A and B are shown apart, each in its own frame.
Chain A
Amino acid sequence: MKTLLQRNTRYLLTWLPVILLICCIAFYVLMKMQAHHMQEKQLQLKQSNVWMAFVKSNGTIPRAIQGEFDIVPGILKQTTKSLSPRDTSIYLPQKNKILPFELLSSQFEWNKDKYIVSAYVSSTEISHLIIKVFITEAVILLLLLLSIVLLNKRNSQILWKPFFETLTKLKEYDVTRNESISLPDETNTKEFKELNVAFVDLIGKVNIAYYNQKQFVDNASHEMQTPLAIIRSKLELLINQPGLTESTAAQLGDITEANDKLSRMNRTLLLLAKIENNQFLNTESINFSDLLHREVSLLKKHYDDDFPTLTLSVTDDITLVANLSLLEILIHNLVINAVEHNIQGGSISINLSNSLLIIENTGLPLSQPAQTLFERFKKGSHKSRTTGLGLALVKQICVLYNYNVVYKYAHGLHKIEVTFP
């Protein structure tokens, strides 16, 4: 994936040289043609001048000057194109070199005698000129190419600046924090202005939708409290009815259990909503190491013999500033998760070092994609005992305090890492 600016430059760098090369070739060809034409005119002029001088002086001027002209009596063979110049080379004794010349020969008549008048012009100078002009042009084009690319790059940077500012702001935006967004509106580009307005508008709507959803969960959970309380109270009265049979008792037991799970789920949803609404404002400095020891030993007591083999390695006196009950829930849920999704005779390893809590447990591979692990009601196993909210709660607490929580699975070990800032 290339960036916008890279792509722009790359495009220019691909096509501009090609165009410039074609221009160069065309320029060279045209210049060559023009030079040829000019030489032809020069030769024709020289030829007629020489002939006029010859006629005026009644044939007394020298008949030849090397490299300039010669007048030879005779008839020009019409096989070659007599009217266009030809290439030739002449040996110049003073330079001791054979040099290229252009030659134009024509038929003239004087006093009934026929003469062939040839005019010469050196090709060296003109070809040197052509090369020099061509090189100059090539250098200019190269400079042009470079400056176009540089200017374009700079221009793009200026042009796209508001876009990148908007992009940075959008990346920072987090819907769960439900904050409004302010995008720079000092841009003079109409499209970017419109883009920013559209984004602000969109985010406003997203915030409202998110707020409504949160409110819904909050309200629904609150409204459910009373019916749940009614069911619970009626069940308590029912189990105290005289003449309770075993089958009724079993059914009542099932109802009680289901109702209880519903209550737990409901309370957890309320808790989630509360964390989302940032209602846990009272934070304190907490000795996390001690808390970890306390919670783990509490859970060991809870599970009694069902608790897997535990390896606990905790660095002492690690403190965190947070809400105590939320940290309790964090540890509690992580450990319960490690116990509940363990295998028979499995093990758990808990490791706390400076800014890292690692909880590893043996267990079967996940039956669902790992990235959904922290979502609500995504249960790995179909254990009816768990609510499917435990890790969602962990995630929510981590989001609240900017802890980073990741899950990994390797060699039959599930590993959850919490990094504290």
Chain B
Amino acid sequence: MKLLVVEDEPSLLTSILEYFTQEDFLCEGVSTFTQSLQKVEDFQYDCIILDINLPDGNGLMLLKYLRQQKKDDGVIIISARNSLDDRITGLDLGADDYLIKPFHLSELNARVKALLRRKYGKGVNLLETGNLKLDLLSRSVTCNDQQVSLTKHEFDLLTYLLNNQNRVVGKQAIAEHIYGHETENMPSFDFVYSHIKNLKKKLKETGCDELIQSVYGLGYKISV
């Protein structure tokens, strides 16, 4: 999968690039509007991660250009401005998703994967790890061919962890993913722990124990 990251902040750019390189993406990063225009003219990308505020132009202009040229590269906008107008403009111009800074890389990863699944459709709606199978369309989970019934939050949690396989996903990232911006004013993330506990218990009943590991209280991880 080819990924283009357009972000003018070098540190953030390297972080994103590093993360997605580890995810086996073919990553390229640019930090100006001109460079990004050059790139999209020359190459086709599966997904473009696009910052709106660039030193020499607006990221939305690139999006406009892409859609005018009938290029169907997936675009995820990352912006420091959490204004509804920006979001609507972005989505109207044909962005696939919109993420507000500061975001979690695991969240960005999950969004990119969701985008790619939507884009390339069939066959990839099944997430598999060992004996565990998760069907995104029917929202069902089987473990050792046994149905596991999960609540909405537990299902979302499991999907999120599976999307970020072999990675430690922080409690904060999980909380924000499940509850969205509701968590902004939540003083604690203890509820993540209880969700994980319940999920582990249900998985254990069907023999998929030891799947979710806790990492020093930092977060959780599913390893293959």
Chain A positions within 8 Å of B, measured between CB atoms, are 222, 225-226, 228-237, 239-240, 244, 246, 249-250, 252-253, 256-257, 260, 263-264, 267-268, 270, 274, 279, 282, 298, 301-304, 306, 329, 332-333, 336, 340, 383, 385-387, 390, 393
Contacts and interface: CB of A to CB of B under 8 A. Distances in A.
B11 A234 contact: yes
Contacts of A237: 15, 18-19, 105
Interface residues of B, number: 40
B1 to A, nearest CB: 20
Q: Looking at chain A's contact residues, is the secondary structure mostly helix, strand, loop, or mixed?
A: helix
Nearest to A222: B80
B177 to A, nearest CB: 13
Given A239-B168, A256-B218, A340-B187, A263 B102 contact: yes
Interface stretch (B111-119, B128-136, B137-145, B178-186): B178-186
B104 A225 contact: no
Contact of B215 (A239, A304, A306, A383): A239
A298 B105 contact: no
A249 B221 CA distance: 14
A304 B194 contact: yes
A264 B173 CA distance: 13
A264 B187 CA distance: 10
A236 B217 CA distance: 14
B80 A226 contact: yes
Contact of A267 (B12, B182, B184, B191): B184
Interface string B6-38: 000101100110110010000000000000000
Interface of B: 9, 11-12, 15-16, 18-19, 22, 80-84, 100-106, 167-168, 170, 172-173, 181-182, 184-188, 190-191, 194, 215-219
A253 B219 CA distance: 9
A252 B80 CA distance: 24
A250 B217 contact: yes
8 contacts: A222-B80, A225-B100, A232-B102, A237-B105, A239-B168, A244-B215, A270-B82, A387-B185
Contact of B12 (A233, A303, A340): A233
Residue in B15, B102, B181 with the greatest tally of chain A CB atoms within 10 Å = B102
A260 B216 contact: no
A306 B194 CA distance: 12
B186 A336 contact: yes
Given A230-B11, A234-B15, A268-B184, 16 more contacts: A228-B101, A232-B104, A233-B102, A233-B105, A239-B168, A239-B170, A239-B218, A240-B22, A240-B168, A249-B217, A257-B172, A270-B82, A332-B185, A333-B185, A336-B185, A340-B187
A36 B14 CA distance: 118
Contacts of A333: 185
Given A222-B80, A239-B215, A302-B191, A229 B19 contact: no
A390 B219 CA distance: 26
A393 B185 CA distance: 10
Nearest to B105: A236
Nearest to A248: B216
Contacts of B194: 304
A252 B218 contact: yes
Nearest to A298: B182
Nearest to A281: B84
Contacts of A306: 190
Contacts of A270: 82
Contacts of B12: 226, 229-230, 233
Given A239-B215, A268-B185, A336-B187, A229 B101 contact: yes
Contacts of B187: 336, 340, 383, 385-386
B102 A229 contact: yes
